[in-house]
Structure 1
Amino acid sequence: MQVTETLNDGLKRGYEITITASELDDKVTAKLEEAQPEIEMKGFRKGKVPMAMLRKQFGPRILGEAMQEAVDGAMSEHFEKSGDRPALQPKIEMKDGENWKEGDDVVVTVEYEALPEIPEVDLSGVTLERLVVKAGDDAINEALENLAGTAKNFEAKDGKAENGDQVVIDFEGFVDGEAFEGGKGEGYPLELGSGSFIPGFEEELLGAKAGDDVEVKVTFPEQYGAEHLAGKDAVFKCKVHEVKAPKAAEINDELAKQFGAEDLAALKAQIAERLEAEYAGAARQVMKRGLLDQLDDKVKFELPPALVEAEAQQIAHQLWHEENPEVHDHNHGEIETTEEHQKLAERRVRLGLLLAEIGRKQEIEVTDAEMTQAVMNQARQYPGQERAFFEFVQQNPQMQQQLRAPIFEDKVIDHIAGEATVTDKEVSKEDLQKEIEKLDEA
């Protein structure tokens, strides 16, 4: 086997790999000899099939395997000797593939962009500011009022139903004059404005009073779950038994017990802890941006053009969909990248490669437990389909990488912050919010 360099320009590399016909034949023979003892064929005892017959029946398939193994072996040996790490999957093509025939040498061309040498960075020279926000009484009381709102009760009232009120109704639905299955209920407590019934239903009950009979006319959505009802006009005959007004729960020890706390003081302490954890998470994002900005200024190196172009395309595509939220598929024209996309892509690629290199040198890894937790967190977005999501992740390496990458990045960021000089600065919730808004603007 012969490997000849054909391109060495910056990070671009090109090689021509020649595998001689005799080398291939030796590999095929070795594979057939290894398999021969287990092969049975009509007219021959197990392990006694002549090599010529084996070669005739299995030779073409074995030849393909031998070619692939030879190329893979040559590439592995090359990367081990050269120290190159390809930025993207190498482009591998068989030279004169259409005209190749058994007995010819195999010539394969390989092209790729190598990852650059990434210089060391003095992390001790990085200085960071960590914003600290304490949970004030106003924020705690606001959270308490929100909790009381979720624990609200409804009390009977006189007069017309308003948005936010609860109406207790009997109802029966009809399509084309016929009652349909699942369209009937008795004594149902419906909160107006909750959006729990099909669009238009709750609005039709605004202004109703206890004792009223109301005909609600609606149209089922085109994408409704029951196909026989999708897009159909319907009439619901409703009897209003009661109209009730919402009343927030009182903020006291009883409310605290509803949320698992011993008393109101304990609930306030839990709320303060949760709020400060949220503030700390937001402050971490601000500190992370400051850290990345410093690293971007400190370290410069050549970037693989194909990697930058792929990132720029992804950025342009993502931003286009954000600007055109009504388009949910990818059946649109080509999206051209701009200079702004290119600059952002260069920053992302540079920082991504730098963080990956720091993580590699520090032997930072994502543990199985961390991956399992990430999968569980993601699976919660698909209630009732958690098992299917777990199986999907197990069978999808790309999805595994999408879940692993942010965990790895956060661990590297924590390592760098541990090496850097960090000072705490206490600020208000409003000041932290302003810093977060700056991140969105950048």
Structure 2
Amino acid sequence: MSQAPEQPRDPLGLTILVAVTFAALCSIRLTTLAMPYFDEVHYLPAAREMLAGGEYINREHPLLGKAILAAGIALFGDTPFGWRIFPLLAGVLTLFASMRAMWHASQSRFATFAFGFLLASGFMLLVQARIAMLDIFMACFLALAAWQFTAAMRKPEQGRSRLAATGLFLGAAMAAKWNAIPLAMLPGIAFFFARLSAGRRRLFTSRRGIPVPGVSLLEAALWLGAVPLAAYALSFWPALFMQENPLTGGGLFALHGEMLALQTQVLAPHSYESNWPDWVLNARAIWYYYEAVDGIQRGVLLLGNPLAMLLGIPALFWCLASGISERNWARTGMVAGYLASLGLWFVAEKSVQFYYHYFVPHFFLLGALALALDALWQAGNRRVPMLVLGSSLAIFAWFYPILTAARLASPQSFLDYAWLNGWR
């Protein structure tokens, strides 16, 4: 008699353990820097104005991320804890949701663990989860959308509700920061081409076939097209209560014209500016903070884990080749997500760009590396994956003080971490 196919066990408990450990690492010295630093100086004043119903500032970005920061101030006070508690929670949720998405996409316990491990030790998620910026909220909503979309394909009996949740989270991601727009388009495009490949005669109305049986292409357009746009539009509701209502005299369309003009204005050169080739090579870091206060030297460096970021590049090429040849949609999805999120910066008319714009692409880079390590693991080669993960952890441990504003020995301590000139 033929045996039943093996059913891999859901690594939910392991996922929670990784997320809780990451939360603990993020919380250390969260409030040590008692003043706003780096781009907190832009977003915190905007959040305060939203709370007071005052001036509409920081007009180039949507409102949702700043509204979440305002909620933190309202609940916990206008203090470093109030500023940064919701970014920290968003970072932990980002890690958890990313691992859930990997599980549903790969059905591999090791790939799920490796992805979470690489993200937690990859520097960027930790640093962005400890600062009151908008990027962590955008990443959080994108990770939640990826979780729900992959779960919809894996569990078609929950497909309708999962797709609806996907749409809501995609709209929220765009409402946090516009960088999410290319990725917000991917689920709908993927659904269309998957259903097209199923060869249904009634392409738009048939409910049979991949990626989510029971949901027609027309219905998917509602959940993955109309719902995100509606959620995005509703995110501007707090603007109605500002001293200067930006929705009068042209409404959302006029406001977005102004936002686009602000996004594409020519800015003065910045000492930390870089572009996408620098990001891919991990060649240009940003010092979010490096000062001595009361005789104590501290610093915060935004950089990618040098080992994982470089190994991720060949892993992407492997995912592309093996994903196409083996029709593995998890691998091709990593490549598509990477190209969509990074490709924005090939054409973006933004005069000054920074390494933190690589934050979202780096999720797909590390996801590709996790899938490549998983392939080795499943083939019986346990040594290489464990060596990579162990080395990633060792490098993370070395850099941890400069990622979390620890006390440094001297003003020249940055040389312990600035291995390249582009990291200085």
TM-score, structure 2 as length reference: 0.20
Q: Hey, which of these two has a bigger chunk of helix by percent? A: 2
Q: Hey, which of these two has a bigger chunk of strand by percent? A: 1
Which structure has the greater CA radius of gyration? 1
